[in-house]
Structure 1
Amino acid sequence: MSKSLDQISKQIKKLLKAERDSSGMPSVDNLKAIAKLIVEARQDHFTNKVGDPDLKGQSWAYRQWAKEAFLDGEDSSLAARVRFHTGNALREIVPAEQLKEAGLLPSSPKERSKKVNNSIANLNHIINGGGKLSPDELPQALEILAKLSKRIPDKNRDDLKAIFK
């Protein structure tokens, strides 16, 4: 049997008041627990315009509840952390087909963040790696140069040509 909305709200408030990290935010474990409670609330207590569970948290009723349950008086960085962990919890709990039907991406914020970080690390390695580019890195380096060259104003193109002579 699912918890009542009041029970979920009380649990969230308790977790928000519990252990905090050095920055004054709830611990990661508490944020993850809050996220799972939010997913439970969205699945069991809120619906979208067509009557399906409000997995995106877009209904007016959900937003009002969220404001009262955990956002009221909290700063935006906490809200961002809660959204991040809620996105991850949705992908752990809700079946992929239901996520797709709700218009949510199949990859979690954690997976998307990891992909972006890997891309940045790869770019950094190509630019700052030292030594000669490997055969695998050369196409990426040329793509970077091609994109950068499009951003150089016409009046500075001769300077660029001189550098590469």
Structure 2
Amino acid sequence: MPRLNLSKTSAEGYRAVYGLEKFSSEHVESEIYHLIKLRSSQLNGCAFCVDMHGSQMLESGVPFRKINSVAAWREVGWFSDRERAALELAEQVTLLPGGVPDDVWNAAAEVFDETELANLLIAIATINVWNRLMVSTQAEPNPPALAG
């Protein structure tokens, strides 16, 4: 059970973060949106968000093997240049190891125009907010239905 229900305890704050989420989901192409959300959530150890975004990807028709390989995306050849650039940027922004290196930024800027890049950054920042809220409140995904 989570420590508190943010949507009830701080409804206005929750709505503000949800507003960023709504904007991001409408302004970043769907598969890239879910890829960055899943990867950032993996890095942040957010079980709630990993479960949610992996499930949403599966429901939208993304192959299971692709979803399953997000944690090792550099090791497989089925991510497009745009997806690879988005995943690398998501990792750098999520981890912030002293800033986003120029080579990572430049690679993303080669495959995304300025507006796309700005919207991608907002989406990455938003999932990091959600991850921190869900991890801090110990939100858990619903357990999977077990075959009997």
TM-score, normalized by length of structure 2? 0.28
Higher helix share: 2
Larger Rg: 1 or 2?
Answer: 1
Compare relative contact order (CA 8 Å, sep 6+) and give the higher one, 1 or 2.
2
Give the alignment's TM-score, normalised by structure 1.
Answer: 0.25
